[in-house]
Amino acid sequence: MYKIHRNIQSKYKPMLTLSEILPHFEGKKSLLAKHLGISRQAVSRWKQEAPIPEKHEFKLRHQLIGWDDNSMLEKSKPRLTRDIHSSSKLSNVNYEIRGPVLEEAYRLEEEGHRITKLNIGNPGAFGFHAPEEIIQDVIYNLSSAEGYCESRGLFPARKAIMQECQLRGIPNVGINDIYMGNGVSELILMSLQALLENGDEILIPAPDYPLWTASTSLAGGRAVHYLCDENQDWEPDLEDLESKITDRTRGIVVINPNNPTGAVYSKDTLTRIARIAEKHNLIVFADEIYDKVLYDGAVHTPFSTITEDCLVISFGGLSKNYRLAGFRSGWLIVSGAKDKAKDYLEGINILASMRLCANVPGQLAVQTALGGYQSINDLVLPGGRLKQQRDVAWQALNDIPGVSCVKPKGALYLFPKIDPKMYSVPDDEKFVLDLLKSKQLLLVQGTAFNWPTHDHLRIVFLQPHEELQVSIDKLGSFLKKYRS
């Protein structure tokens, strides 16, 4: 809390204004915007003497400590005597899916604009509801969820996951090889924190799901990106992958089905990755959260069925397959060469115990979800809503001159390319920001997924197909101003 001198307390304004706070950021709106984690454009719209929006004003009050009392006596204005800075561990941590462009979208919504948000794979927001049977079972058992459970998770939930492993041909997975988490996101960070020393490296695909890169950095490691080949349906470039292995490399991340490209990797590709991991004694982190969201007969091969000679840490959950993103119920499965990793696995166990347990109500859904009718098939097979929306969005994108898109075989996203010979887009973040302001359409720039060039976008195809067509038509119209 700020210290407010009692002699001038009556003069202190209830809400801070831009003119009062800006001097503490060298008079630069860009520094203030960076401190708040919002765009400079958002700060530029604030009037000098008008109160700062409440949510940002609150943050300024509580993140920064102390006022210079002498200055306040002289000027009757607050002055910060010491800033509180974020940890240097966050210097390479970014998550642009919820970054500055989204902040601008929130600001536009506050002004009364209606924003079409195709930036995040949130099925419930687009009318994709979980099976009623799952919801009813959770409600029926909710009174049993008042206390902590075992740190690894509820026994019935882990038992159901173990049986799913058996059905899918994943060998030697016992109930204590399964950890429940508050979504896969928590478990990704735990698995990396238990492993990495400062400077250790993790190989992560480009494009990636940026949480992997952020979590690697937060755990003290270094993300090294291996390329996926757009001309080969976004399969990993395995020569590039192996060329980037050093004596500091500890693991390989495989995202399959892939976010953001929608690729579903062949068994041959997975086998070759396994041989590389075995050769170099690396862990494979298999992110398989979309393993049942498959189109056109695509087959997902669990990485754990490929090898028993290297350690495999697999991730799954309820968020996408069962449209239960808000339940935050995910799981981590340990398989393969467990005997070589006892110390590492004890580290995961310690971290699981430190957070006491994952949220128990979300775990109540697992047994019914895995054991019941798999309604995801109704959505992805011919005639299903997801498949129809994917087809409409993919065709609409490819109909735009200078835009091409590999047809996704899985997941909920398209990752189209904008031809740099036809369109001049030097900064893809600015492009999506300008698109947002012009068309009230929110997408995510390709570089947010650690893609090296400014020529891709990610689009979520969860909108009803008629609305998707309108949204992509808006993109096509907006692109015309960028024609070279």
Q: Is residue 280 part of a domain?
A: yes
Report the side by side order of strands in the sheet with 249-255.
178-182, 329-336, 311-317, 283-287, 249-255, 201-206, 222-229, 235-236
Q: In this structure, what token pair is assigned to residue 308? A: 């028993």
* Beta-bridge mates of residue 225: 204
User: Does 244 share its domain with 166?
Assistant: yes
End position of a domain, from candidates 313, 335, 370: 370
pLDDT for the residue numbered 312: 98
Answer whether residue 72 is part of any domain.
yes
User: Token match 């430190």: residue?
Assistant: 354
The backbone torsions φ and ψ at residue 225, rounded to the nearest 5 degrees and listed phi first, read -100, 125
Domain assignment present for 210:
yes
Indicate the pTM of the whole model.
Answer: 0.82
pLDDT of residue 14: 56
- Tell me, what CATH number does 229's domain have? 3.40.640.10
Write down the residue that tokens 């941590």 correspond to.
93
Helices (H), 336-384: 342-354, 360-363, 366-371, 376-380
Q: Into how many domains does the chain fold? A: 3
Give me the CATH number covering residue 411.
Answer: 3.90.1150.10
Residue 49: predicted pLDDT:
80
Helix, strand counts (H, E) of the chain: 19, 17
Same domain, 399 and 335: no
Kindly give the pairing relationship between strand 417-418 and strand 403-404: antiparallel
Runs of H (alpha helix) within 219-328: 238-243, 267-280
Q: What pLDDT does 81 receive? A: 55
Amino acid at 455: D
Tokens at residue 127, please? 């009318």
User: Which pLDDT does position 328 carry in this prediction?
Assistant: 96
The SS3 of residue 200 is coil
* Same domain, yes or no: 239 and 145: yes
Q: Are residues 78 and 150 in the same domain?
A: no
In terms of domains, do 113 and 183 share one? no
Residue 377 is assigned to a structural domain of this protein = no
Tell me, yes or no, whether 413 and 344 share the same domain: no
Last residue of a domain, one of 322, 350, 370: 370
Its domain, for residue 430, covers 96-121+382-482
| Closest alpha carbon to 59 in 123, 103, 11 | 103
Tens place of pLDDT per residue across the chain (484 aa): 333 333 333 344 457 788 888 887 888 887 888 788 787 777 777 878 878 887 777 667 665 544 444 444 344 445 555 678 888 777 777 777 667 888 899 999 999 999 999 999 999 999 999 999 999 999 999 999 999 999 999 999 999 999 999 999 999 999 999 999 999 999 999 999 999 999 999 999 999 999 999 999 999 999 999 999 999 999 999 999 999 999 999 999 999 999 999 999 999 999 999 999 999 999 999 999 999 999 999 999 999 999 999 999 999 999 999 999 999 999 999 999 999 999 999 999 999 999 999 999 999 999 999 999 999 999 999 999 999 999 999 999 999 999 999 999 999 999 999 999 999 999 999 999 999 999 999 999 999 999 999 999 999 999 999 999 999 999 999 999 998 7
Considering the domain boundaries, does residue 202 fall inside one?
A: yes
What are 287's two structure tokens? 């992110």
Question: Same structural domain for residues 301 and 319?
Answer: yes
- Within 13 Å, how many C-alpha atoms sit on residue 322's CB side? 26
In terms of domains, do 82 and 100 share one? no
213 and 242, same domain (yes or no): yes
Pair 64, 142 in one domain: no
Q: Do 358 and 403 reside in the same domain of the chain?
A: no
Answer yes or no: do 362 and 422 share one domain. no
In a domain, 69, yes or no: yes
In a domain, 84, yes or no: yes
- What per-residue string of b and e applies to 74-91 under the rule 16 or more CB within 10 Å gives b? eeebbbbeeeeeeeeeee
